[in-house]
Structure 1
Amino acid sequence: MAGEDREGDLLLTGGHCIPESELVEQASRSGGPGGQHVNTSSTRVTLRWNLRETCGLRPEARARALERLARRLTRDGELVIHADRHRSRHRNRQDARERLRLLVEAALVVQTPRRPTRPTRASKTRRLDAKRRHGDTKQRRVVRTDDD
Protein backbone atom coordinates (compact mmCIF):
# COMPACT_ATOMS: atom_id res chain seq x y z
CA MET A 1 0.00 0.00 0.00
CA ALA A 2 1.23 3.49 -0.80
CA GLY A 3 0.23 6.95 0.35
CA GLU A 4 0.70 8.87 3.59
CA ASP A 5 0.59 7.71 7.18
CA ARG A 6 -0.75 9.81 10.07
CA GLU A 7 2.55 11.55 10.76
CA GLY A 8 2.88 12.77 7.16
CA ASP A 9 5.52 10.25 6.10
CA LEU A 10 5.28 9.24 2.46
CA LEU A 11 4.70 5.48 2.22
CA LEU A 12 6.00 3.68 -0.85
CA THR A 13 5.32 0.17 -2.11
CA GLY A 14 7.86 -2.44 -1.09
CA GLY A 15 8.03 -1.31 2.55
CA HIS A 16 9.94 1.91 1.86
CA CYS A 17 9.05 5.19 3.53
CA ILE A 18 10.16 8.77 2.99
CA PRO A 19 10.11 10.49 6.40
CA GLU A 20 8.32 13.83 6.66
CA SER A 21 11.47 15.28 8.24
CA GLU A 22 13.43 14.72 4.98
CA LEU A 23 10.95 16.64 2.82
CA VAL A 24 11.49 20.38 2.45
CA GLU A 25 8.47 22.31 1.22
CA GLN A 26 8.54 25.90 0.07
CA ALA A 27 5.63 28.00 -1.16
CA SER A 28 6.00 30.76 -3.72
CA ARG A 29 3.83 32.84 -6.01
CA SER A 30 2.64 31.02 -9.07
CA GLY A 31 2.91 32.64 -12.49
CA GLY A 32 0.44 32.93 -15.31
CA PRO A 33 -2.97 34.54 -15.73
CA GLY A 34 -5.44 34.75 -12.89
CA GLY A 35 -5.75 38.31 -11.69
CA GLN A 36 -5.51 39.40 -8.08
CA HIS A 37 -5.49 35.93 -6.51
CA VAL A 38 -2.37 34.81 -8.37
CA ASN A 39 -0.55 38.06 -7.60
CA THR A 40 -1.14 37.99 -3.85
CA SER A 41 -1.06 34.36 -2.70
CA SER A 42 1.74 31.82 -2.56
CA THR A 43 0.10 28.71 -3.97
CA ARG A 44 3.00 27.16 -5.89
CA VAL A 45 4.72 24.39 -3.90
CA THR A 46 8.34 23.36 -4.37
CA LEU A 47 9.16 20.02 -2.78
CA ARG A 48 12.79 18.99 -2.20
CA TRP A 49 14.04 15.59 -1.09
CA ASN A 50 17.70 14.69 -0.69
CA LEU A 51 17.93 11.25 -2.25
CA ARG A 52 21.65 10.90 -1.66
CA GLU A 53 21.33 11.26 2.14
CA THR A 54 17.95 9.66 2.78
CA CYS A 55 17.50 7.03 5.47
CA GLY A 56 14.07 5.99 4.17
CA LEU A 57 15.43 3.61 1.53
CA ARG A 58 17.62 0.53 1.81
CA PRO A 59 21.13 1.02 0.35
CA GLU A 60 20.49 -1.09 -2.78
CA ALA A 61 17.19 0.71 -3.42
CA ARG A 62 18.87 4.10 -2.94
CA ALA A 63 21.59 3.14 -5.43
CA ARG A 64 18.96 2.05 -7.97
CA ALA A 65 16.98 5.28 -7.50
CA LEU A 66 20.14 7.42 -7.76
CA GLU A 67 21.01 5.71 -11.04
CA ARG A 68 17.54 6.00 -12.57
CA LEU A 69 16.80 9.55 -11.38
CA ALA A 70 20.30 10.94 -12.02
CA ARG A 71 19.10 13.36 -14.71
CA ARG A 72 16.50 14.87 -12.36
CA LEU A 73 18.81 15.42 -9.38
CA THR A 74 20.63 18.60 -8.44
CA ARG A 75 24.38 18.60 -7.78
CA ASP A 76 23.63 18.07 -4.09
CA GLY A 77 21.55 14.96 -4.86
CA GLU A 78 18.18 16.60 -4.30
CA LEU A 79 15.06 15.74 -6.25
CA VAL A 80 13.06 18.94 -6.83
CA ILE A 81 9.39 18.95 -7.79
CA HIS A 82 7.36 22.09 -8.56
CA ALA A 83 3.57 21.92 -8.37
CA ASP A 84 1.39 24.79 -9.56
CA ARG A 85 -1.45 23.07 -11.39
CA HIS A 86 -4.10 23.97 -8.82
CA ARG A 87 -5.31 27.24 -7.30
CA SER A 88 -4.79 26.19 -3.68
CA ARG A 89 -1.54 25.51 -1.86
CA HIS A 90 -3.02 22.44 -0.18
CA ARG A 91 -3.87 20.74 -3.49
CA ASN A 92 -0.49 21.68 -4.96
CA ARG A 93 1.19 20.18 -1.87
CA GLN A 94 -0.74 16.94 -2.36
CA ASP A 95 0.10 16.97 -6.08
CA ALA A 96 3.82 17.44 -5.42
CA ARG A 97 3.91 14.64 -2.83
CA GLU A 98 2.00 12.28 -5.14
CA ARG A 99 4.33 13.04 -8.06
CA LEU A 100 7.35 12.42 -5.81
CA ARG A 101 5.86 9.11 -4.68
CA LEU A 102 5.18 7.98 -8.27
CA LEU A 103 8.66 8.99 -9.45
CA VAL A 104 10.45 7.16 -6.66
CA GLU A 105 8.27 4.05 -6.95
CA ALA A 106 8.93 3.87 -10.70
CA ALA A 107 12.67 4.22 -10.05
CA LEU A 108 12.65 1.42 -7.47
CA VAL A 109 11.07 -1.20 -9.76
CA VAL A 110 13.52 -4.02 -10.40
CA GLN A 111 13.55 -4.83 -14.09
CA THR A 112 13.85 -8.50 -14.93
CA PRO A 113 16.50 -9.18 -17.55
CA ARG A 114 15.23 -10.17 -20.98
CA ARG A 115 15.72 -13.81 -21.81
CA PRO A 116 16.44 -14.19 -25.53
CA THR A 117 13.96 -16.46 -27.31
CA ARG A 118 14.97 -19.13 -29.79
CA PRO A 119 13.17 -19.93 -33.04
CA THR A 120 10.96 -23.02 -32.93
CA ARG A 121 11.66 -26.07 -35.06
CA ALA A 122 8.56 -25.38 -37.17
CA SER A 123 9.66 -21.80 -37.89
CA LYS A 124 13.13 -23.02 -38.93
CA THR A 125 11.52 -25.56 -41.28
CA ARG A 126 9.20 -22.91 -42.78
CA ARG A 127 12.14 -20.54 -43.34
CA LEU A 128 14.26 -23.22 -45.03
CA ASP A 129 11.34 -24.37 -47.22
CA ALA A 130 10.71 -20.78 -48.31
CA LYS A 131 14.40 -20.36 -49.16
CA ARG A 132 14.35 -23.58 -51.17
CA ARG A 133 11.20 -22.54 -53.09
CA HIS A 134 12.70 -19.13 -53.83
CA GLY A 135 15.91 -20.77 -55.07
CA ASP A 136 13.93 -23.17 -57.28
CA THR A 137 11.98 -20.24 -58.77
CA LYS A 138 15.19 -18.41 -59.61
CA GLN A 139 16.71 -21.58 -61.04
CA ARG A 140 13.75 -21.99 -63.43
CA ARG A 141 14.32 -18.46 -64.74
CA VAL A 142 17.86 -19.28 -65.90
CA VAL A 143 18.04 -19.64 -69.67
CA ARG A 144 20.25 -22.58 -70.53
CA THR A 145 22.16 -22.51 -73.76
CA ASP A 146 24.00 -25.51 -75.17
CA ASP A 147 27.23 -24.01 -76.46
CA ASP A 148 29.22 -27.25 -76.37
Structure 2
Amino acid sequence: MNLTKADLQKEVTYKTSRSGGKGGQNVNKVSTKVELLFPIKTTLLFTDDEKALLLTKLENRLNKDGLLQVVCDEERSQLLNKEIALERLTRILTEALIVPKARKKTKVSKGAKAARLDNKKQHSAKKESRRKNFND
Protein backbone atom coordinates (compact mmCIF):
# COMPACT_ATOMS: atom_id res chain seq x y z
CA MET A 1 0.00 0.00 0.00
CA ASN A 2 1.28 3.43 -0.89
CA LEU A 3 0.84 5.80 2.05
CA THR A 4 0.91 9.51 1.36
CA LYS A 5 1.29 12.23 3.94
CA ALA A 6 -1.82 13.98 2.61
CA ASP A 7 -3.98 10.89 3.18
CA LEU A 8 -2.61 10.39 6.67
CA GLN A 9 -2.98 14.04 7.59
CA LYS A 10 -6.75 13.82 7.03
CA GLU A 11 -7.12 11.15 9.72
CA VAL A 12 -4.49 12.28 12.22
CA THR A 13 -5.15 14.44 15.26
CA TYR A 14 -2.46 16.55 16.89
CA LYS A 15 -1.97 17.57 20.50
CA THR A 16 0.58 20.25 21.30
CA SER A 17 2.23 21.14 24.56
CA ARG A 18 5.23 23.01 25.86
CA SER A 19 8.49 21.23 25.33
CA GLY A 20 11.63 21.13 27.38
CA GLY A 21 15.11 21.28 25.94
CA LYS A 22 16.76 23.93 23.80
CA GLY A 23 14.94 27.08 22.84
CA GLY A 24 15.64 29.53 25.62
CA GLN A 25 12.65 31.55 26.74
CA ASN A 26 10.73 30.26 23.73
CA VAL A 27 10.35 26.95 25.63
CA ASN A 28 8.30 28.65 28.32
CA LYS A 29 5.94 30.43 25.91
CA VAL A 30 5.32 28.35 22.79
CA SER A 31 3.78 24.88 22.50
CA THR A 32 6.24 23.17 20.19
CA LYS A 33 5.99 19.55 21.38
CA VAL A 34 3.72 17.58 19.05
CA GLU A 35 1.85 14.41 19.95
CA LEU A 36 0.33 12.76 16.89
CA LEU A 37 -2.58 10.33 17.34
CA PHE A 38 -3.69 7.92 14.60
CA PRO A 39 -6.81 5.73 14.96
CA ILE A 40 -5.93 2.37 13.39
CA LYS A 41 -9.33 0.77 14.11
CA THR A 42 -11.43 3.47 12.41
CA THR A 43 -9.14 4.49 9.55
CA LEU A 44 -10.38 4.21 5.98
CA LEU A 45 -6.87 3.90 4.51
CA PHE A 46 -6.46 0.19 5.26
CA THR A 47 -8.42 -2.99 4.71
CA ASP A 48 -9.62 -5.07 7.66
CA ASP A 49 -6.76 -7.52 7.19
CA GLU A 50 -4.20 -4.71 7.18
CA LYS A 51 -5.80 -3.18 10.28
CA ALA A 52 -5.58 -6.52 12.08
CA LEU A 53 -1.90 -6.85 11.09
CA LEU A 54 -1.16 -3.30 12.28
CA LEU A 55 -2.97 -3.83 15.58
CA THR A 56 -1.02 -7.01 16.34
CA LYS A 57 2.38 -5.64 15.30
CA LEU A 58 1.95 -2.24 16.95
CA GLU A 59 0.01 -3.27 20.06
CA ASN A 60 2.71 -2.02 22.45
CA ARG A 61 2.74 1.40 20.73
CA LEU A 62 -1.00 1.99 21.21
CA ASN A 63 -2.30 4.09 24.08
CA LYS A 64 -5.23 3.08 26.31
CA ASP A 65 -7.73 4.49 23.77
CA GLY A 66 -6.33 2.29 20.99
CA LEU A 67 -4.64 5.15 19.14
CA LEU A 68 -1.16 4.95 17.67
CA GLN A 69 0.88 7.66 19.37
CA VAL A 70 3.96 9.39 17.94
CA VAL A 71 5.66 12.18 19.93
CA CYS A 72 8.19 14.67 18.60
CA ASP A 73 9.84 17.58 20.39
CA GLU A 74 13.18 17.73 18.60
CA GLU A 75 12.84 21.09 16.86
CA ARG A 76 12.00 24.57 18.09
CA SER A 77 9.20 24.88 15.56
CA GLN A 78 5.80 23.22 15.97
CA LEU A 79 5.46 22.90 12.19
CA LEU A 80 8.78 21.05 11.86
CA ASN A 81 7.82 18.74 14.72
CA LYS A 82 4.52 17.97 12.98
CA GLU A 83 6.40 17.11 9.78
CA ILE A 84 8.84 14.84 11.64
CA ALA A 85 6.02 13.11 13.53
CA LEU A 86 4.12 12.50 10.27
CA GLU A 87 7.25 11.05 8.63
CA ARG A 88 7.75 8.76 11.62
CA LEU A 89 4.13 7.64 11.41
CA THR A 90 4.43 6.76 7.71
CA ARG A 91 7.64 4.84 8.40
CA ILE A 92 6.10 2.95 11.33
CA LEU A 93 3.00 2.01 9.32
CA THR A 94 4.87 0.94 6.19
CA GLU A 95 7.31 -1.20 8.21
CA ALA A 96 4.45 -2.81 10.14
CA LEU A 97 2.62 -3.70 6.92
CA ILE A 98 5.55 -5.73 5.58
CA VAL A 99 4.71 -9.42 5.79
CA PRO A 100 7.84 -11.57 6.10
CA LYS A 101 8.26 -14.40 3.62
CA ALA A 102 7.38 -17.82 4.93
CA ARG A 103 10.47 -19.92 5.55
CA LYS A 104 10.74 -22.98 3.37
CA LYS A 105 11.99 -26.05 5.20
CA THR A 106 15.09 -27.54 3.67
CA LYS A 107 17.04 -30.68 4.44
CA VAL A 108 20.75 -30.77 5.09
CA SER A 109 22.44 -32.15 1.99
CA LYS A 110 24.22 -35.51 2.07
CA GLY A 111 27.53 -33.84 1.29
CA ALA A 112 27.16 -31.40 4.19
CA LYS A 113 26.25 -34.27 6.56
CA ALA A 114 29.23 -36.32 5.42
CA ALA A 115 31.59 -33.34 5.79
CA ARG A 116 30.30 -32.64 9.32
CA LEU A 117 30.67 -36.28 10.38
CA ASP A 118 34.16 -36.46 8.84
CA ASN A 119 35.15 -33.33 10.74
CA LYS A 120 33.83 -34.87 13.97
CA LYS A 121 35.83 -38.06 13.34
CA GLN A 122 39.03 -36.08 12.76
CA HIS A 123 38.41 -34.05 15.94
CA SER A 124 37.72 -37.22 17.90
CA ALA A 125 40.90 -38.88 16.58
CA LYS A 126 42.94 -35.81 17.55
CA LYS A 127 41.54 -35.92 21.10
CA GLU A 128 42.05 -39.70 21.28
CA SER A 129 45.70 -39.35 20.34
CA ARG A 130 46.26 -36.97 23.27
CA ARG A 131 44.86 -39.37 25.86
CA LYS A 132 47.10 -41.28 28.25
CA ASN A 133 46.56 -45.02 28.46
CA PHE A 134 45.98 -45.98 32.08
CA ASN A 135 45.32 -49.68 31.28
CA ASP A 136 48.91 -50.41 30.14
State if a TM-score over 0.5 links the two structures.
yes
Q: How far apart are the structure 2 equivalents of 1:44 and 1:140? A: 69
- Check if 1:47 corresponds to 2:36: yes
The structure 2 residue matched to 1:60, chosen from 49, 55, 63, is: 49
The structure 2 residue matched to 1:107, chosen from 96, 99, 113, is: 96
- Check if 1:121 corresponds to 2:110: yes
- Which whole-Å deviations, capped at 9, do the CAs of 1:58-111 have from their partners, x for residues lacking one? 111100000000001112210111111011111101001001111111111011
Q: How far apart are the structure 2 equivalents of 1:61 and 1:139? A: 62
Aligned to 2:86: 97
Q: Which has the larger radius of gyration?
A: 1
Q: How far apart are the structure 1 equivalents of 2:87 and 2:28? A: 26
What's the offset of the Cα at 1:42? 1.2
SS at match of 1:117: coil
What's the offset of the Cα at 1:122? 1.7
Task: Mark the runs of 5 or more structure 2 residues left unpaired by the alignment.
Answer: none
SS at match of 2:31: coil
Structure number with the bigger relative contact order (C-alpha 8 A, sep ≥ 6) is 2
TM-score when scaled to structure 2?
0.83
- Which whole-Å deviations, capped at 9, do the CAs of 1:2-47 have from their partners, x for residues lacking one? 543xxx323xxxxxxxx61x21112211112432111111111111
Q: How far apart are the structure 1 equivalents of 2:125 and 2:20? A: 72
Higher helix share: 2
Matched letter for residue 43 of structure 2:
T
SS at match of 1:74: coil
Runs of 4+ in 1 over 6 A off after TM superposition: none
Q: 1:139 to 1:34 in 2, by over 3 A?
A: closer
The structure 1 residue matched to 2:61, chosen from 72, 88, 91, is: 72
The Cα RMSD (Å) is: 2.3
Q: 1:56 to 1:3 in 2, by over 3 A?
A: closer
